[in-house]
Amino acid sequence: MKLQCPCGAKYAFDLAPEMLANPVSFICPACGADHSVFVNELVRQEFGAPAAEPVSLPPVAAPSPATGSRLTISHETKPATPTPEAAPVSKFCSKHRGVLATENCAECGKPICPECLSLFGYFCSPLCKNKADLKGKNVPIFAGQKSEIESRFWRKMGLIFGTIALVILGAIGFWGWYQFYGSRPHEVFSQHFDQRSFYGNAQMTGKDQFIFLHGGTLARVDLKSKKTVWSHDVISQKEYADATAAEVRADSASTYRSSQSRLEKSARKQLESELSLRVEGENIWVARGAKDTRYDWSTGNVAEENKITPHTLYGADEEGGGLPLNPNDDSSRPLDPDKVGAQVQNLKLPAQIALPALLANARNQQQLLRELKDDPKKLPVAVKKNSTGDSENSIVRVIHSSDGDLRFTVRLLERRMVAHSAMKAPPKKSALEGEVNQSKTMDIANEMLNEMQRNAGGDTVEEDESRFQVSVRKAGEPETAGWTGEVVGPPELHPLKTVNVLTAGKGVVVLDKDNKKIWAATLTYSVPGAVLDDEAGVAQFGAGPCVERGNTLYVFDQAVLTAFDLSSGNARWRLPSVGVMGLFFDAQDNVLVNTTSGSPDDIKYSRQIDVTKTTDAIVQKISPQSGKILWTVKPGGHISYVAGNIIYATQSYDSGFDPEEDGNDLTDGLQKKDYFRLVRLDPKSGRELWIYEQQRAPSSVHFSGTYIELVYKKEVQLLKYMTF
């Protein structure tokens, strides 16, 4: 509405229904006239309210002649449109008829429904949103708006996919690190020595504690700090000097003199071979000859000494010799076919071609030396003596077991040694006849080696079929207690978990823990002794030849592995296998067998030499219920350790050549490099998981889970890897 005061001033204002309840005050700023009553009457008329009593405008002191004396009212314009604040008069959305409005447009004030909110937020259209943006209005974002929901969704998806991508990239990176480094053995500790050693052992114990015996040096290392806690000389320098002097005196009486370095080496080997390390918790024991010494955990000083009475039931057969290439080799000693074959296989190709000439030269020199020494060839005689070497025919051993000590008495009743040929007849036609060429090299070498074997008396072997009376009883029991019986062949007692097993030749006798006989069985071949580690005195390639597992007794002879029912003695199954060395068991009680690819002829002709033949080391996984072969692999060596899902097979070759001492040796440069090969096998399939190799041969290998302890001639090394 527009008004003009009698003084000529013009005014315009909007009328609102609220003016009915709250009358307005209108005083002209130009002349000061009060027109409030007139204006309020106009408001009542505009909104249809009852008229008030007539009123008149107050007189004006000086009316303007141009405009007159009355208040002029103009109706040229309609009442102003209500302000946006008054818009919610309608309860329905301006865009969606019939839909109740819940909000107003933040720009124009029009009513908007939830559907509009989901499309444009707190605006009725994109136009209003643009206007608000141009004005810089701070309008909150509606959480339920579709674009906002989609934005939050994609932000969430981006975060999820980004996280997944990071996880995948991290997993790929970890897999690469684990595959090529973490899961492979790597060095965590090593210590080098100036002086060579030829024997030793090393073992992890406790938490991060490493004990090793390198030659005559015993030490304890803390792996956290990588520092040696203490080091102690088990063999003194005076003992080394005295042993060397004894070697020099013995050598001075011989015709063929050895060098000083060879004599020192021989003395060191002799002294160090007498040592063996045993670690039980914080008890560190070193056995040496007839003495067992315990060293203090904290200081390494001698804490306790015990005397050991070694008992040997039967003298060990003399070890066969290797490839006779050195003139000072003992030519009267029979050759070991396996040792000779392995050495020939590790000769370089030029040396293999020249092998017949090398053998002929060595044979001629050995013959000359025998004549100079006036030392006629002596055939070996397999004489069995008791531990004391006296004329007594019986010995007594105290054998430790988990159920207490056992008194094992053996008395010789009748000495009977049976000799039989262990070699094939010489070929009727010599390989030297006719044309001699490179293709005949190995045939000529075989013929010469077998001839040397016969000349040394190695063509026959003697089998001990003597009769023995054996008594087994608990220590402290009277002589009438326990079991007494007669057996054929050298007897051995094997205390197991619930039974004691006596083996002798081809016989097996099973006793209960009170040493009462349960059952006996006869085998096809003789039972071999356990293959022991020289340093630790424990089975190197597995348990055996008698192993108790659950309700089964496993026994292997030279060519057959048999599973007996422990209570009845019935054979559940038999597995022909020549050269079984030991048994391991996995978590499911499957049998892991260390054996070879040998044949029964290898037993019949055990002294026959064939340098072209290779006998492979074989590992087999056998079902304990049926004896079925689950898998067979040739990892290059035999299993040395099984723990959980960890299976190690090892192989090493030590040529024995020392460039510092054997620089002028005839075999210098002929043989291949020394090596060590460690393979981890998959327990499910037997496949190789990884291979670790070094171009040197350790004198000792020991395992503690994922730790690998190695003792080399001039270094002690500790390896570690990760596994899951």
Which of 546, 553, 583 lies closest to 567, judged by CA? 553
Is the same domain home to 5 and 76?
Answer: yes
For residues 610 and 45, the model is more confident at: 610
For residue 614, the Cα-to-chain-centroid distance in whole angstroms is: 30
What integer is the mean pLDDT of 147-172?
91
Is residue 57 a part of any domain in this protein?
Answer: yes
pLDDT digits (tens, 9 = 90+) for 43-70: 777 776 665 554 444 444 444 443 434 4
For residues 23 and 426, the model is more confident at: 426
What tokens were used for 184? 């492979």
Is residue 51 a part of any domain in this protein?
Answer: yes
pLDDT, position 331? 56
Domain boundary among 126, 144, 162: 144
For residues 561 and 289, the model is more confident at: 561
Is the same domain home to 71 and 127?
Answer: no
Which of 193-202, 249-258, 283-292, 453-462 shows the lowest mean pLDDT across its residues?
A: 249-258
pLDDT, position 143? 84
pLDDT, position 33? 78
Is residue 119 a part of any domain in this protein?
Answer: yes
Q: Distance (Å, rounded) from C-alpha 578 to C-alpha 386? A: 30
> Does the pLDDT value for residue 599 go beyond 70?
yes
Is residue 97 a part of any domain in this protein?
Answer: yes
Question: Is 448 in contact with 609 (CB distance < 8 Å)?
Answer: no
Is residue 581 a part of any domain in this protein?
Answer: no
Is the same domain home to 67 and 110?
Answer: no
What integer is the mean pLDDT of 420-426?
90
pLDDT, position 669? 58
For residues 237 and 622, the model is more confident at: 622
Is the same domain home to 46 and 100?
Answer: no
Q: Distance (Å, rounded) from C-alpha 468 to C-alpha 447? A: 40
Is the same domain home to 75 and 103?
Answer: no
Domain boundary among 80, 111, 131: 80
Is residue 628 a part of any domain in this protein?
Answer: no
Spell out the residues 6+ positions from residue 202 whose beta carbon is closer than 8 angstroms to its own.
Answer: 210, 211, 212, 213, 214, 277, 700, 702, 709, 710, 711, 716, 718
* pTM of the predicted model as reported, rounded to 2 decimal places: 0.69
**Average pLDDT taken over every residue of the chain:** 81
What integer is the mean pLDDT of 320-342?
66
Is residue 115 a part of any domain in this protein?
Answer: yes
Stretch (H or E) spanning 240: helix 237-252
pLDDT digits (tens, 9 = 90+) for 118-142: 888 888 888 898 888 888 888 888 8
Confidence label for 330 from pLDDT (cuts 50, 70 and 90): low
Confidence label for 23 from pLDDT (cuts 50, 70 and 90): confident
> Does the pLDDT value for residue 632 go beyond 70?
yes
Domain boundary among 52, 80, 108: 80
- What is the tally of structural domains in the chain? 2
pLDDT, position 55? 44
Is residue 105 a part of any domain in this protein?
Answer: yes
Spell out the residues 6+ positions from residue 454 whose beta carbon is closer than 8 angstroms to its own.
Answer: 423, 426
Which residue range forms the structural domain that includes residue 17?
Answer: 1-80
